[in-house]
Structure 1
Amino acid sequence: MKKIGKTILVLVLFIIVLLFVYAKTDKSPDEDTISDQLKNWKSNSEVFQFQQFNISYFDTKDASKEVILLLHGYPTSSFDWSLLWDDLKKDYRLVAVDMLGFGLSDKPSNHNYSIALQADLQEAVLKNLHIKRFHILAHDYGDNVAQEMIARFMESGSKYPFEIRSATLLNGGLFPETHKPTKVQSLLASPVGGLISPLVNQSLFENSFKKVFAERSLPSKQDLIDQWYLICQNEGNRINHKLVHASRDRIINKDRWKNTLVQKRIPILFINGLQDPVTGKETVELYRKIVSNPKLVTLDSIGHFPQLEAPKVVQKYLVMFLNDPEIISGE
């Protein structure tokens, strides 16, 4: 029996070494392979210093317009908002930050990537830009950052230095009990996440990423290259296990963040693609139970990324909501 156990252990170690070598030889996409859209997006990036780290952000800078703060999800970046950007900036000032560990921002390997930290980052950028009043548009991981900011607004009262005028949330882990991470995310969040993270290569990423989209709106090969390129910037593909901190934060802040959804001071619109295997129908069902008279839009044939799968639809309901928060009802 001991001999069999040793054989299995050696075999497992051998497979891990092979996978590690494979991951090392799996090159990140070159600049020449990314789309013109991403090249243009990168060219508009600005840099802000936060805790001695370089943070990439995007700002349309029209101080005469109302501000929308856009919060991206995991494991992607502010580039997720690019399909909405040109139309929304006609009427709103847009600010989007690549959170620490994401996109074009720095990705320190030994850091605690908590949701509280990412909320601190958003507040620091807003303060630097002298913005005090804003709406929020968030997705996925960004929903939790929005919940943390709303919780601070509720708890601090007039002492909170910002006024959150509204929040629009797209598919996200609002409740830990209905959040179903992908197999790769589960492995990254496990005790062996540090070993798994460097093994995630482009092929594995693409296969996992496509599974959260609806069949009718799958990302193109170019879309996948662009997303993987952004993940790999500053060796971000080596720290994916650090970025799944949100799963623990959701449990720790379960009641506190739930209260942000039922409060009445800040209007909240929830837009959810029902074909999402991560935060789909069960999240909507629980949201309906918890939130009375919810402002809710469900998209039957859309998956986890409504802003990429149906940007015009998202824009339509967002603008309706911003113009009149009472116009939308989920009942």
Structure 2
Amino acid sequence: MKKIGKTILAVLVLIVVILFVYTKIDKSPSEDTISKELRNWKSNSEVFQFQQFNISYFDTKDASKEVIVLLHGYPTSSFDWSLLWEDLKKNYRLIALDMLGFGLSDKPSDIQYSISLQADIQEAILKNLQIKRFHILAHDYGDNVAQEMIARFMESGSKYPFQIRSATLLNGGLFPETHKPTRVQSLLASPLGSLISPLVNQSLFENSFKKVFGAQFLPSKQDLIDQWYLICQQGGNRINHKLVHASNDRIVNQERWRNTLVQDRIPILFINGLQDPVTGKETVDRYRKIVPNPNLITLDSIGHFPQLEAPKLVQKNLVRFINNPEMIFEEPKVLINVVTTNL
């Protein structure tokens, strides 16, 4: 038995060594490899202090316009909104931050990342900017942050310091029973997550990331470099196992967050790319069963990132909904036949 145990241990050590060499752990994109678009995006970032942490955020600052708060997903950043930014800011004040642990914000390794904490940060920056009324546009992980904020509004009533005028949600883990994480995400969420996280290199990230896009809308090599660069800032690629804590939050808050989808005080629009292997058709089917008369738009050829794969379509329906949030509509299929994205 001792001999078998030593053999197993030796095999495990060998696997770790091979993975260590294969992944080239310390290699991450340098500043000179990123796109002009990301450089411009970075140049417009500001910093907000939350407790001891620096939070990167973007604000178009036009106080005369209605406000849209944009909440990004996992494992990316506010840069996901860049293809919508220029057109939307013509008519709206836009506020987007990189959540703690993401993008250009601080990425501490010694805290528990939770959706509640991320909602606290969103509320803190809105108070600091003296924003009281706003619409929400959220994606993925950001959908759960939006649900947490709506739940707080429902529970606090008139005591809640903000008025959420509407919420538009893009592909996200609204229901734990229909959320299907990628293999890498599953490993990161496992007890081996802390060992797996530093072994995820650019190649593994790119292979996993591309799989959640629609076949017609795959990201370019430059897009992938930009995304990996943002993930790697401040060693963020080593804490991904901590950021997947949202999967536990979805279970703990399952009923509470589900109630946010059926309340009638804040209008909600759900836009979903059906080619998404993580939160695609099953999530839509579940949404239809739970939400009566849903405001729902499904995109046949689009995957997990509608705002990157079909930004014009997302923008069109977001504005349409903001202008008439009381309207109930469902378009079961919006078939995309022509590539309309710049990604």
Instruction: Report TM bin, short chain.
Output: over 0.9
Aligned partners of 1:34, 1:14: CA distance in 2, in Å?
35
Alignment of structure 1 residues 181-200 onto 2, 5 Å? 181-200=181-200
Q: 3-state DSSP class of the match of 1:271? A: strand
Q: 3-state DSSP class of the match of 1:177? A: coil
Aligned partners of 2:230, 2:175: CA distance in 1, in Å?
28
**What are the Cα deviations for residues 39-97 of structure 1, in whole angstroms up to 9, with x where unaligned?**
00000000000011110000000000000000000000000000000000000000001
Aligned partners of 2:15, 2:216: CA distance in 1, in Å?
36
The aligned counterpart of 2:237 is: 237
Alignment of structure 1 residues 69-218 onto 2, 5 Å? 69-218=69-218
Aligned partners of 1:21, 1:51: CA distance in 2, in Å?
38
Asked whether the equivalents of residues 38 and 226 of structure 2 are also in contact (C-alpha less than 8 Å), the reply is yes
Q: 3-state DSSP class of the match of 1:242? A: helix
Quote the offset at 1:7 in angstroms: 1.3
Aligned partners of 1:8, 1:220: CA distance in 2, in Å?
41
Normalised by the length of structure 2, the TM-score is: 0.95
Aligned partners of 1:18, 1:235: CA distance in 2, in Å?
22
Normalised by the length of structure 1, the TM-score is: 0.98
Quote the offset at 1:11 in angstroms: 1.1
Aligned partners of 1:179, 1:104: CA distance in 2, in Å?
27
Could you list the structure 1 runs, at least 4 aligned residues long, displaced by more than 6 angstroms after superposition: none
Quote the offset at 1:273 in angstroms: 0.0
Asked whether the equivalents of residues 25 and 199 of structure 2 are also in contact (C-alpha less than 8 Å), the reply is no
**What are the Cα deviations for residues 256-275 of structure 1, in whole angstroms up to 9, with x where unaligned?**
00000000000000000000
**What are the Cα deviations for residues 283-309 of structure 1, in whole angstroms up to 9, with x where unaligned?**
000000000000000000000000000
Quote the offset at 1:6 in angstroms: 2.2
Aligned partners of 1:115, 1:254: CA distance in 2, in Å?
13
Quote the offset at 1:27 in angstroms: 1.1
* Alignment pair present for 1:12 and 2:36: no
Unaligned runs of 5+ in 2: 332-343
Aligned partners of 1:204, 1:160: CA distance in 2, in Å?
43
Q: 3-state DSSP class of the match of 1:74? A: coil
Unaligned runs of 5+ in 1: none
Aligned partners of 2:25, 2:273: CA distance in 1, in Å?
36
CA RMSD of aligned residues (A): 1.0
Aligned partners of 1:51, 1:185: CA distance in 2, in Å?
29
Cα separation, partners in 2 of 1:328 and 1:312, compared to 1, 3 Å: farther
Aligned partners of 2:40, 2:95: CA distance in 1, in Å?
16
Aligned partners of 1:239, 1:21: CA distance in 2, in Å?
20
